[in-house]
Structure 1
Amino acid sequence: MITKNFKCEAIAAGKAAGPAIVSNEAICFYLVEPESGVVIEQKHVLEGRSMSGHVLVAHAGKGSSVVQMDGLFKIAARGKGPVAVVLRNPDPVFVSALLVMELPSVYNVEEDFYSYVQDGDMVTVDAGGGNIKVERQ
């Protein structure tokens, strides 16, 4: 097993681990099916895939604050949301949703993290400790 660590800064405190689900496109939580956590946005890189129980590595968010908050609330309330979020380009709307939902989340990650992490890597986000651990078989 190969393990690499990356420095980061916290958005919302907490620690969580799960397999990575990586998107190089902006995410709109309103376009995620609440009952399954499956992305239903047509032609999105994650279309048809569930973020439930995963560490979401996201490029950015899109949509209004109401749309993002409502979408994230609905999937989180059903236990079908991501366990943590690594956000490359934080915007006020996405960050606000993460803070309100108290979802462990980070930003300002070392740049080589984004070229290294792959779908399915086991990722541990320790927002309070300022660290992301990536484990690969």
Structure 2
Amino acid sequence: MEKIVGRGAFSGIVEGIALVCPESIQGWSGISDTTGQIIEKGHSQEGVNINGRILVLPCSKGSNGWSCHFHSAMRSGFKPAGWVFSKMDSRAGVATVVVGSPAVADFKDVDPCEFIKNGDLIRINGDTGEVEILQRSLEN
């Protein structure tokens, strides 16, 4: 089993399908507050829903209101199951806490946006910082 280790950033263990966004997701006009879809024009995952997915991002992107859009989407019933951040920044930290999904961040020797492939089944442990690839996606 392939595994990478970062820093546990928000407690909990979750398994799910990775949604890899190497360019992150813009807060304002990046996530639909009412559908949970990525609506950022030209985004590699435009049209994909974040609900139940483990978001793999380098960091946040945009204004300090970044976390508000994830919170609004969560209030409408759409939230990520977990988060993997290459580097945790303040906007990402707030979003993690507001949404309440496990998170792993701050990887030193590997870029999770390159190691994890879109569609991989992964398990993240927000306590130990471990990210395990349970099954590689057949799409890659």
Scaled to the shorter chain, the TM-score interval is 0.7 to 0.9
TM-score, with length taken from structure 1: 0.86
List per-residue Cα deviations over 1:5-48 (Å, max 9, x = no partner): 22121221111111011011022344211333110010111111
1:84 aligns to what? 82
TM-score, with length taken from structure 2: 0.84
- Between the aligned residues of both structures, percent identity stands at 22
Distance 1:69 1:85 in 2: 13
How many corresponding residue pairs? 134
2:102 aligns to what? 104
- How far 1:112 sits from its partner (Å)? 5.6
Unaligned runs of 5+ in 2: none
What's the secondary structure of 1:93's corresponding residue?
A: helix
What's the secondary structure of 1:25's corresponding residue?
A: coil
2:17 aligns to what? 19
Distance 1:49 1:70 in 2: 19
Distance 2:119 2:88 in 1: 23
1:41 aligns to what? 40
1:52 matches 2:51: yes
What's the secondary structure of 2:18's corresponding residue?
A: strand
Unaligned runs of 5+ in 1: none
What's the secondary structure of 1:82's corresponding residue?
A: coil
List per-residue Cα deviations over 1:89-119 (Å, max 9, x = no partner): 3221221221233221111235064433111
What's the secondary structure of 2:68's corresponding residue?
A: helix
Give the CA RMSD over aligned residues.
1.8
Distance 2:79 2:26 in 1: 12
